[in-house]
């Protein structure tokens, strides 16, 4: 099956869908969190308490179906368990909420907000960690959690929460404060681990459950406040409910990147409402479970045909996990249909010409499979001689005239604008290497703090930079100059080399500036190169 898939990996395909860059085949995501338990014959009690069992199940999913998105455990009652609700492990199903920890509004004041990393949440975080270590940059890793709104039903039961929602505004506010804290901390822990986005099943934000008045007066504020404190992208999942009528409330909420749409609703209408956000859906889970592979294949084709020009679309089942009784052949039917439904694809020869400052990161990304084109490097020290850089770069571009060329450079030479205007050249976004690596917002923050940013390569070559190129023959002149412009050195630790503490100390002493270590990743660089690669393939 894997051979039939497009050249892009799952991570790259979902990134494309987020950016609206066309892909050879439609990205595929099925919620197969539970199904791994079936494939590995791991009873749910074991599967949903032992991270190794869960990850083994997801490995089986990847081996058999290779969906572009893989998920952390999708168990809504775990949100209640964190607060003290009782759950029950049941054969062939996800754990069920047996007894909510509280059932009445007057108990909310005594409800304690739990640590984000205890009990079942510790299990989920460990699953996320293991999935990240196996699949980061290969598959898009989605973490499931409930927002500060829907988790209330797992803490109080639907009846208790509904009663509080309708009749007890003060207690409701207190409840949301407690659930918000937990939601933010847990979600950010998932992002710290390295998941690519989180999905929040949001039935209580849908017209199936509440009215627009409740949304406007009660739900939007706490949800907005919580979402703006989340460190990454959020997908609003329909949670088995219809949500089209209320999508407009959520489109512009902070960090919301996309929506899962129910199979009963119209994706075209959803597209009109959400603009360029990601849309996932909208295969009926009952069809997958009950029908023959032929019917499943036809249903899949219908959805693909309707969305064939939608570059922000990901094929997905609406609602909860694909059920235990779903035949394996039906899932295969979906995968084959999606993978064989090809769009126009033109192959080009490509090459990346990069500043050597990125060498470690780009080679690491190449090794991980995140970049699959040849890369040639020009010495980063050319940064000090813009004219020479310009001449060398122009020569290289001439040499690869019949290639499509990705430039991994900042605005390092005056001729960069002319170079990148050539029809076969595209350049990474960013003023300089730091900007390209960190993204604009983090870069601006550091600049505002007066930071002089150092990469591993430059630290090792600091004498070349500061003494030979800048011309600071003595520490005094370097100190005077650097303190005039900067407040500190910030060394970017991208995790690909040992931190050169001794050399940093030497440089710091020479320039009279303190230094800090900042951990970062090469994610922005990877995304940037990847997007340019796809722009060549499919146009803007």
Partner 1 sequence: MGELEKEQEYLLETIINAEKKNATDTILNWAEKTSFKNAFSELLEPVLSKLGDLWFRNELSLAQAFLAGKVAEDIFNIASKSDELSLDLANPKGTAVIGNIEDDFHSFGRKLVVIFLRLDGWKVYDLGNDVLPKEFVDKAVQTNARVIGVSAMIYNTAISIIGVRKEIDKRNLTGKIQLCVGGAVFNVRTNLVQEVGADGTADNAIKTPELFNKLQQKSFKYE
Which residues sit at the interface with partner 1, rule CB under 8 A?
Answer: 88, 90-93, 96-99, 157-159, 162-163, 165-167, 207-211, 213-214, 240, 242, 285-286, 289-290, 320, 323-325
Q: How far is the CB of 431 from partner 1 (least distance, A)?
A: 50
Sign of torsion over alpha carbons 57, 59, 64, 69: positive
Q: How far is the CB of 237 from partner 1 (least distance, A)?
A: 16
Closest CA to 44 of 332, 321, 328: 321
d(CA 19, CA 11): 12
d(CA 269, CA 244): 8
The verdict on whether omega for the bond into residue 282 sits within 30 degrees of 0, i.e. cis, is yes
Region for residue 293 given its phi and psi (left: phi exceeds 0; alpha: psi -120 to 50; beta: otherwise)? alpha
**In the structure encoding, which two tokens stand for residue 524, read together?**
């922005």
Closest CA to 32 of 337, 338, 335: 335
Q: How far is the CB of 325 from partner 1 (least distance, A)?
A: 7
User: 209 vs 371, which CB is nearer to partner 1?
Assistant: 209
User: 158 vs 257, which CB is nearer to partner 1?
Assistant: 158
d(CA 56, CA 46): 12
**In the structure encoding, which two tokens stand for residue 54, read together?**
């869960």
Beta bridge partners of 354: 377, 408
CB neighbourhood size of 502 (10 A): 8
Q: How far is the CB of 162 from partner 1 (least distance, A)?
A: 5
Q: How far is the CB of 198 from partner 1 (least distance, A)?
A: 23
User: 261 vs 425, which CB is nearer to partner 1?
Assistant: 261
CB neighbourhood size of 519 (10 A): 10
d(CA 406, CA 400): 11
**Neighbour order of strands in the sheet with 451-454:** 451-454, 488-493, 515-519
**Neighbour order of strands in the sheet with 375-378:** 375-378, 350-355, 404-408, 425-427
User: 262 vs 457, which CB is nearer to partner 1?
Assistant: 262
Q: How far is the CB of 90 from partner 1 (least distance, A)?
A: 5
User: 88 vs 348, which CB is nearer to partner 1?
Assistant: 88
Counts of helices then strands in the chain (DSSP H, E): 25, 17
What's the alpha-carbon Rg for the chain, to the nearest Å?
Answer: 26
Closest CA to 78 of 112, 111, 42, 125: 125
Q: How far is the CB of 264 from partner 1 (least distance, A)?
A: 8
Q: How far is the CB of 20 from partner 1 (least distance, A)?
A: 31
d(CA 528, CA 533): 9
User: 37 vs 233, which CB is nearer to partner 1?
Assistant: 37
DSSP characters for 304-332? HHHTTT-TTEEEEESSSPPPTTS-HHHHH
Beta bridge partners of 405: 351, 425
Contact 256, 277 (CB under 8 A): yes
User: 318 vs 438, which CB is nearer to partner 1?
Assistant: 318
Distance of alpha carbon 466 from its chain centroid, rounded?
Answer: 38
Q: How far is the CB of 66 from partner 1 (least distance, A)?
A: 26
Contact 330, 296 (CB under 8 A): yes
d(CA 218, CA 216): 6
Q: How far is the CB of 240 from partner 1 (least distance, A)?
A: 7
Q: How far is the CB of 201 from partner 1 (least distance, A)?
A: 14
d(CA 475, CA 512): 8
Q: How far is the CB of 108 from partner 1 (least distance, A)?
A: 18
User: 97 vs 270, which CB is nearer to partner 1?
Assistant: 97
The half-sphere exposure of 76 on its side-chain side, counting CA atoms within 13 A, is 29
User: 139 vs 326, which CB is nearer to partner 1?
Assistant: 326
Q: How far is the CB of 427 from partner 1 (least distance, A)?
A: 50
């Amino acid at each position: 099956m894997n051979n039939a898939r497009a050249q892009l990996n799952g991570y790259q395909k979902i990134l494309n869908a987020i950016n609206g860059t066309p892909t050879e085949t439609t990205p595929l995501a099925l919620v197969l969190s539970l199904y791994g338990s079936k494939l590995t014959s791991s009873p749910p009690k074991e599967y949903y308490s032992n991270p190794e069992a869960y990850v083994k199940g997801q490995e089986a999913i990847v081996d058999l179906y290779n969906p572009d998105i893989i998920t952390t455990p999708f168990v809504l009652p775990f949100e209640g368990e964190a607060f003290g609700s009782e759950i029950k492990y049941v054969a062939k199903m996800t754990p069920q909420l047996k007894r909510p920890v509280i059932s009445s509004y007057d108990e909310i004041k005594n409800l304690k907000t739990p640590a984000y990393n205890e009990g079942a949440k510790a299990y989920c975080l460990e699953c996320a960690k293991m999935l990240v270590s196996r699949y980061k940059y290969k598959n898009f890793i989605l973490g499931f959690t409930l927002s500060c709104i829907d988790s209330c039903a797992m803490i109080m039961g639907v009846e208790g929460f509904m009663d509080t929602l309708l009749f007890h505004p003060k207690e409701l506010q207190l409840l949301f404060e407690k659930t918000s804290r937990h939601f933010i901390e847990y979600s950010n822990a998932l992002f710290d681990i390295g998941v690519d986005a989180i999905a929040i099943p949001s039935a209580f934000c849908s017209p199936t459950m509440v009215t627009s008045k409740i949304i406007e007066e009660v739900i939007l504020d706490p949800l907005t406040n919580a979402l703006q404190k989340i460190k990454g992208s959020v997908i609003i999942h329909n949670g088995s409910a219809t949500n089209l009528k209320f999508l407009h409330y959520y489109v512009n909420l902070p960090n919301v990147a996309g929506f899962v749409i129910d199979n009963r609703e119209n994706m075209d209408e959803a597209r009109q409402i959400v603009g360029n956000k990601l849309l996932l859906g909208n295969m009926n889970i009952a069809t997958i479970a009950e029908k023959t592979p032929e019917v499943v294949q036809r249903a899949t084709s219908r959805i693909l045909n309707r969305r064939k020009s939608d570059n922000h679309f990901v094929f997905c089942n609406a609602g909860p996990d694909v059920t235990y009784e779903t035949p394996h052949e039906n899932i295969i039917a979906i995968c084959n249909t999606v993978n064989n439904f090809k769009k126009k694809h033109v192959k080009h020869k490509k090459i990346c010409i990069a500043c050597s400052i990125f060498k470690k990161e780009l080679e690491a990304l190449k090794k991980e499979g995140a970049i699959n084109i040849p890369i040639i490097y020009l010495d980063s020290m050319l940064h000090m001689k813009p004219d020479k850089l310009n001449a060398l770069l122009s020569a290289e571009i001439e040499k690869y005239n019949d290639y499509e060329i990705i430039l991994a450079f900042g605005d390092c030479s005056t001729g960069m604008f002319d170079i990148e205007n050539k029809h076969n050249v595209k350049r990474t976004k960013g003023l300089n290497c730091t900007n390209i690596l960190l993204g604009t917002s983090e870069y601006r923050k550091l600049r505002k703090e007066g930071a002089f940013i150092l990469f591993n390569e430059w630290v090792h070559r600091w004498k070349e930079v500061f003494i030979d190129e800048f011309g600071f023959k003595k520490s005094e002149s370097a100190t005077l100059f650097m303190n005039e412009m900067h407040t500190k050195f910030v060394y970017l630790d991208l995790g690909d080399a040992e931190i050169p503490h001794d050399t940093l100390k030497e440089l710091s002493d020479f320039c009279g500036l303190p230094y800090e270590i900042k951990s970062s990743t090469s994610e922005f660089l990877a995304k940037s190169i990847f997007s340019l690669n796809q722009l060549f393939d499919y146009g803007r």
